Structure 1
Amino acid sequence: MSHGQEAPIAPAIVEQASHWLMLHWNGELDAEQHQRFIEWQAADAEHRRAWQRFERLQGTLAGVPASTAHTVLRKMPDARKRQTLKLLGALLLTGGGGYLAQQQLPWREAMADLRTGSRERLSQTLADGSQLSLNSGTAVNIRFSHHERRIRLLSGEILLQSGKDPQNRPLIVETAVGEIQALGTRFSVYEVAGGSRVELFEGELELRPRHAPAARLQAGQQRWFNAEQMGQLDRADPNAIAWTQGRLVAERVPLGQFLHELSRHRPGVLRCDPAVAALPLTGVFPLDDTDRVLLALQQSLPVKVQRLTAYWVTVGPRD
């Protein structure tokens, strides 16, 4: 069986392994703790398997060899440690882990200039007067020089209202697949589906894929692009930035797509059973109370919310 998909580990053992992992992250174990840790591993083969999986998964998350992952993750803020530990625990409970991707590395996000967790949103006025808003699970670096104003979107989604720069420096948002140059604009950029989706509400933009010709975007338009190609030109959706007011708006949106968006605003894993993924959903939902949203789904759709743990939730068909 591959490392990406292994047999699940019992919840009680995951809880014990999580305890030891947090102790390791908080610093070196003292002599008594070290001895108890050795005894815990020796007591059961499942204890050793749980710890080995934790070692591998945290190495994947940190983007470094497992032998040095403790050092990297130890430097993360406590809130990020807890969030990462919940994710690792959920992966052990279900045997998952193959989907972890390099562009979602928490060590890189933890060292970003601005970042938000799964329940956080942030608005910031930049040095040039631009207004920058970060959705949940977003990380950016700000690089202003004498020649340009550059915002590097590492993960997540931003809304940017460009300021009028006295030095007339170009304002550029850089993503993994290319660049977006603002020409006096208000626009959002969302890292999704292996590319960047840009919604333009005011002004004009130039989209620059890394390996394809540039293209202009006009107010009221949206477009997805990756490094090699441009997607279809479409109308900008004002509901796409309802998160800036703490709302998630759905207008006949497939339930699977809605839950994917909602999952960005709660810790752990939120899954949608394929049997109900196509159900259409319409409504306005509060992002700051995702449990309330899940309850509302049960009341309005033929679905049932099943909780393996508080951090592993599946929405499936009602019995």
Structure 2
Amino acid sequence: MRCITVTCFATQTSRNVAPSPAAVKQAIHWMLSLRERGNDPSLAQQCERWRNAAPEHELAWQRVMRLHQDLDLRAIPGAGVALQTLETSQRRLHRRQALKLLGGVALVGSASWLARDLQSVSAWASDYATATGERRSLRLPDGSLLQLNTRSAVDLAFTEQQRLVRLKQGELMLSCSETADPGRPLLVQSRDALVEGFAGRFVVRQDEDCTRVSVTAGKVAVHQPGGELQWIGNGQDWRVDASGARRLEQVAMDAAAWSEGLIVTRDMRLADFLTQVSRYRHGYLACDEDIADLRLSGVFRLEDPEQLLQLLPQTLPVQLRQRTRWWIRLERLS
């Protein structure tokens, strides 16, 4: 990709002005296009004209490129692999998917500049988002309380016809306002379903292969593709995917405990537990196959994932093998 000269106004405004999500999306689009098409003078000129069209465009470009350069220099553990994946994937993925992949790259590391300045590309491109290990609460315009778990992002679309929360990634808890507004349904849209909330509280989590819906108070209605409607009552946990919705009779983890800073497990597989803990920390975390099915039950605090991991050898026959603060693997105790 051809290097293009930085204009002066970006230096003057970059410290005090944040680019809009739309400008960031455009900058990422230009970066992916230039990387895909290589040395294309015509495309480079078009990109330069876009950058010169507004100070905000140049600011968005510089911040996206700074993210790319820092990753390319491997300032963040695992960045090289993530960038290689981005290089090979962008040629066959839709631009929207490539944007999500780049957002994932931003979550890999723990360098201070990332947490302080960028957090993630998803945060730029969403109305509200959380970084790794962060939880956030906010009051919606209708009085409902929205809580976001780690690595989560949502967009809001409140109109005269509906109150819509789009879950783009991660997990949310929504406590519906007791003030009913039947003319404007309160909806949470995930990749797999549309969840309609009433007076009560529920959790929606978007996994790679499904959406999980858990109701802790009241009830919700799940609208699935094809017009099917499924009611979910208090205390129920459901899985929704392309094949439909089904109730989960046994759940190994309290779906709402994260809102209080906890992981509460009931006879949970060690490998599944580590997958959940890894959502709250940077870097690599896994275990050997011969201990993956070990079970644990308990209440674990999320405020310090590293200290949490140190507790595991006290309750299970395992030991931690740690290469760096970002790379931890559990092995059977020898």
TM-score under structure 2 normalisation? Answer: 0.67
Percent identity (aligned): 27
Alignment of 1:1-319 (within 5 A): 65=32, 67=34, 75=63, 89-90=77-78, 92=80, 97=85, 102=97, 105-106=102-103, 107-165=121-179, 167-168=181-182, 169-211=184-226, 213-234=228-249, 239-319=254-334
The answer (yes or no) to whether the contact 1:200–1:236 under 8 Å persists in 2 is no
Q: Give the whole-Å Cα distance in 1 for the aligned partners of 2:61 and 2:263.
A: 32
Task: Please list the CA deviations of residues 155-175 of structure 1 after superposition, one character each: whole Å capped at 9, or x if unmatched.
Answer: 111111011456531000000
The answer (yes or no) to whether the contact 1:212–1:228 under 8 Å persists in 2 is no
Where 2:151 maps in the other structure, the secondary structure is: coil
The answer (yes or no) to whether the contact 1:178–1:227 under 8 Å persists in 2 is no
Q: Give the whole-Å Cα distance in 2 for the aligned partners of 1:112 and 1:137.
A: 12
The answer (yes or no) to whether the contact 1:86–1:311 under 8 Å persists in 2 is no
Q: Give the whole-Å Cα distance in 1 for the aligned partners of 2:317 and 2:68.
A: 35
The answer (yes or no) to whether the contact 2:216–2:256 under 8 Å persists in 1 is no
Change (3 A) 1:96 1:286: farther
Residue 270 of structure 1 aligns with an amino acid whose one-letter code is: L
Where 2:218 maps in the other structure, the secondary structure is: strand
Which residues of structure 2 form unaligned runs of 5+?
8-27, 37-57, 104-120
Q: Higher relative CO (CA 8 A, sep ≥ 6), structure 1 or 2?
A: 1
The answer (yes or no) to whether the contact 1:109–1:154 under 8 Å persists in 2 is no
Change (3 A) 1:212 1:88: farther
TM-score under structure 1 normalisation? Answer: 0.70
The answer (yes or no) to whether the contact 1:196–1:224 under 8 Å persists in 2 is yes
The answer (yes or no) to whether the contact 1:220–1:236 under 8 Å persists in 2 is no
Residue 256 of structure 1 aligns with an amino acid whose one-letter code is: A
Q: Give the whole-Å Cα distance in 2 for the aligned partners of 1:171 and 1:229.
A: 22
Where 1:244 maps in the other structure, the secondary structure is: helix
Where 2:307 maps in the other structure, the secondary structure is: helix
Change (3 A) 1:299 1:191: same
Deviation at 1:180, TM superposition (A): 0.4
Residue 175 of structure 2 aligns with an amino acid whose one-letter code is: Q
The number of equivalent residue pairs is 262
Change (3 A) 1:310 1:174: same
Q: Give the whole-Å Cα distance in 2 for the aligned partners of 1:210 and 1:247.
A: 34
RMSD between superposed Cα atoms in Å: 3.8
Which residues of structure 1 form unaligned runs of 5+?
1-23, 30-61
Residue 229 of structure 1 aligns with an amino acid whose one-letter code is: G
Q: Give the whole-Å Cα distance in 2 for the aligned partners of 1:82 and 1:296.
A: 34
Deviation at 1:248, TM superposition (A): 1.1
